[in-house]
Amino acid sequence: MFNDMKDPSSEYEITINKLSEQINELFSKIHYYQALIAEKDLQIKHLSNENQRLLVKIQKLSQIETPPPAPTPSEHSYTPPTPPQQPSSPPIPLQQPLTPSPIPPQSKSSFSLSEDPRINKRQCPNCGAMGFAIREVDDRTKILSYSPRRMYAKKKVCTKCRYEW
């Protein structure tokens, strides 16, 4: 009968051991979080010092950028009067001969394709597509003539962005 019963002191020792392990785990967590708090406090101090340093730097830069206010004229300050300006005579244009000066011939190397108005004729105002990306279609909302057959106005359509003009 005594063998079936466990020793109560051994049960207490087991629970005491479990509880002491839990206490040790909790103490280790406490130490970890205390170290983490100390690290964060140090980081906060560092960032606040840097913030103060940057604020001082901003104030110095704003003082440099803004010029000092102009002195207001007072009754005690003397400003000399401006001398009167003499009216100047209008410039006399030089007479040039009525014959035009000879125009120097242009060489083919100075000719630019971008100056030719025919090249940039078809260009989408929305996306900038040029050339064959622009189609001309009939604008059936605008009738130009009824006889001998209907003639419609033309409109241009960009095939890339579908913009019509």
Contacts by 107-112, CB closer than 8 A, 24 or more apart: none
pLDDT score at 77:
61
Q: Residue 49: helix, strand or coil by DSSP?
A: helix
- Could you tell me the pTM of the whole model? 0.33
Residue 144 resides in a domain? yes
Residue 103 resides in a domain? no
16, pLDDT greater than 80:
yes
137, pLDDT greater than 60:
yes
Residue 156, phi then psi, degrees to nearest 5: -105, 140
Q: Which residues pair with 137 in a beta bridge?
A: 155
Residue 13 resides in a domain? yes
pLDDT score at 147:
85
Q: Domain tally for the chain?
A: 2
Residue 37 resides in a domain? yes
54, pLDDT greater than 90:
yes
Residue 6 resides in a domain? yes
pLDDT score at 39:
96
Domain that holds residue 133: 120-165
Task: Give the mean model confidence (pLDDT) for residues 120-135.
Answer: 86
Residues written for the chain: 165
